Amino acid sequence: MYRKEVLRCYKSLLRTRANVFAGDYEALRITHEKAREAFEKNRDQTNPEEIKKLVKIGWDAKEILQQTVIQAKLNSKGNYEAEIKRHHLDPN
- Whether 22 contacts 70, CB under 8 Å: no
- The pTM assigned to this predicted structure is 0.81
So what's the pLDDT on residue 17?
Answer: 94
Boundaries of domain holding 78: 3-88
Residue-wise pLDDT tens digits, 44-87? 999 999 999 999 999 999 999 988 888 888 899 999 988 887 77
Computed on alpha carbons and rounded to an integer, the radius of gyration of the chain in Å comes to 16
- Can you say whether residue 78 is alpha, beta or left, with left for phi > 0 and alpha for psi between -120 and 50 degrees? left
Looking at the structure of the chain, the number of domains it has is 1
